[in-house]
Amino acid sequence: METKPKSKRKVPPGAPLFPDKPRLSKAEIARLKAEDDAFGQRCRAIFDKVAPQLIADHYEWSIHIEPDSGDYFIDPNSDVCFQKALLQHPTKMLMEMCLNETGACGRI
C-alpha cells in the first residue's frame, strides 16, 4: 500500500493565515464570545419552551430558531428547514438544533 508524502506547510506554525488582516484584541475576542453566548442562551430558552410539545410528534426533526422574534421552523430535512427560516428572516442569524432530549445535531 502506497501513501502520498505529506505536503509542506505553506504557513509557518503560529503565523497568521491572513497577515494583512489585523488580529483581534483580547477585549474584542471576549466581546464576540459574550455575544455568541448570549445568542445561544436566547435560542436555548426558546428551544426549552417549545421542545416538550414538539418532541412527541417530531422527534429528531431539525429546528431553526430566530431568537429576536421568537420564530422557529421545523422540518425533517435540515436544508428545507433552513430555507423556510431564510424566507422569513433572510438577514438574521439563526441557530439549528435537533428535536431530541439535548438539542444536539449529528454524532461525535
Q: Report if residue 33 sits inside a domain.
A: yes
Q: Report pLDDT digits (tens) over 3-30.
A: 676 666 577 777 887 888 888 899 999 9
Q: Report if residue 50 sits inside a domain.
A: yes
In the chain, the number of structural domains is: 1
Name which of 71, 58, 60, 39 is nearest 102 in CA terms.
60
The neighbour count for residue 81, using CB atoms within 10 Å, is: 20
Q: Which residues of the chain have pLDDT under 70?
A: 1-3, 5-9, 108
Q: Report if residue 103 sits inside a domain.
A: no
* Containing structural domain, residue 70: 26-98
Q: Report if residue 64 sits inside a domain.
A: yes
Q: Report if residue 4 sits inside a domain.
A: no
Q: Report if residue 60 sits inside a domain.
A: yes
Which residues have C-beta within 8 Å of that of residue 61, sequence separation ≥ 6? Answer: 54, 74, 75, 76, 81, 98, 99
Q: Report if residue 67 sits inside a domain.
A: yes
Q: Report if residue 10 sits inside a domain.
A: no
